[in-house]
Structure 1
């Protein structure tokens, strides 16, 4: 064990926030004396430098030498960073699919390849079974709407919750709310599962209702 559970929780939360950053998302900042706040965007290179420095300072302050070595060599070198960080892609994904992909291949390995370790057999199973199942699920949930995706109720619930929240007068200008690009600089948006926040939801509802 390289660190205690409390430190590990703080660290995993920090790494998760590092993943969420993107060069198209404004970030809320404040000047040195703390008298004013503003939003700004950063390049992918600037984001990488900033997160490496933050995780380094965190490990240094807590004297976690081996944790820093592990994190940097396995997660934060530029090559490793490019494999998982959202800011290394121009388009930003709305879902974290690594877990689903890994789960999919684990089933293929443990079920289909367990007693039949043949690549040609695996290709046959993917084409005849896996792809057919995915196409059927897409048609049921998206094309024909026979059933709804499991995440849709969560999306509706979060939208309704955000729509009921009050807005501050300077929120739209402070966070550079842009419904056309669907981005906002508020802290809630960048870490939202569905890329939602009360500023974007409110602006969209005003547009739907035709309000000035």
Structure 2
């Protein structure tokens, strides 16, 4: 529930099959999310939990700090993940031998170690380093390519590949393997829903799109492949 509230956005349609795509405004999304949490806490007699959620997460002042719906465009970077990633690399790579370093040492490390690495990375991204040589795909580009190719496959092929991988995995216990095979079979028999897919805005109302790292889903990928005759993009 909370994960869904984080990813909801006015540009992403709600999943209402066989109906014109419905979009909620930012205010309506906030009201809907707060009401859903309130109803859940009330149904389970969690008054203290509701007080915490409202004061720390769902009040108008706190909502704009973390909800995707508070932005006009769909943000691709979540909260302070880039700052936290940079700080984690700084602590583990440059300050791992120091406990609570002095401010002057921290400034020196940032200026002499961190900033040169960032400058080299920016030059590499902009093509100013090793000009004339082809650039290999970045790690995130490799992951995006792998996920795109996987979503391009049919449901039957993906299900078969999952089943074969499970059967070939000798590290799984028999009961674990049986549970995985049962889940694969249940997913294979599950009826497929109908979703609102829009290539102009590259949005879809399916649950997978809502939480996708790339803002993609198999419906969008397959529709793009169909309209481009599977030509490389």
Query: Greater CA deviation, 53-62 or 200-209?
Result: 200-209
Q: How many residues align?
A: 187
- Is residue 135 of structure 1 aligned with residue 119 of structure 2? yes
Match of 1:96, SS state, is coil
Give me the whole-angstrom Cα distance separating, in 2, the residues matched to 1:199 and 1:96: 24
The answer to whether the Cα contact below 8 Å between 2:66 and 2:79 also exists between their aligned partners in 1 is no
1:91, distance to aligned residue in structure 2 (A) = 1.5
Aligned to 2:76: 94
Match of 1:73, SS state, is helix
The answer to whether the Cα contact below 8 Å between 1:189 and 1:195 also exists between their aligned partners in 2 is yes
Matches for 1:100-179 after TM superposition, within 5 Å: 100-105=82-87, 111=95, 114-118=100-104, 122-123=106-107, 125-140=109-124, 143=127, 146-165=135-154, 171=194, 174-175=195-196, 177-179=197-199
Residue ranges of structure 2 left out of the alignment (5+ in a row): 128-132, 156-190
The answer to whether the Cα contact below 8 Å between 1:189 and 1:196 also exists between their aligned partners in 2 is yes
Give me the whole-angstrom Cα distance separating, in 1, the residues matched to 2:74 and 2:100: 36
Aligned to 2:10: 23
TM-score norm. by structure 2 comes to: 0.67
Aligned to 1:71: 53
Q: Classify 1:72/1:197 alpha carbon distance in 2 versus 1 (closer, same or farther; 3 Å).
A: same
TM-score norm. by structure 1 comes to: 0.73
Q: Classify 1:179/1:63 alpha carbon distance in 2 versus 1 (closer, same or farther; 3 Å).
A: same
1:48, distance to aligned residue in structure 2 (A) = 0.1
Match of 1:40, SS state, is coil
Aligned to 2:162: none
The answer to whether the Cα contact below 8 Å between 1:22 and 1:44 also exists between their aligned partners in 2 is yes
Aligned to 1:80: 62
- Is residue 40 of structure 1 aligned with residue 55 of structure 2? no
Matches for 1:174-189 after TM superposition, within 5 Å: 174-175=195-196, 177-189=197-209
Residue ranges of structure 1 left out of the alignment (5+ in a row): 1-13, 31-35
The answer to whether the Cα contact below 8 Å between 1:162 and 1:201 also exists between their aligned partners in 2 is yes
RMSD of aligned residue pairs (Cα, Å)? 3.2
Q: Classify 1:105/1:44 alpha carbon distance in 2 versus 1 (closer, same or farther; 3 Å).
A: same
Give me the whole-angstrom Cα distance separating, in 2, the residues matched to 1:38 and 1:77: 31
1:89, distance to aligned residue in structure 2 (A) = 0.5
Query: Greater CA deviation, 55-64 or 141-150?
Result: 141-150
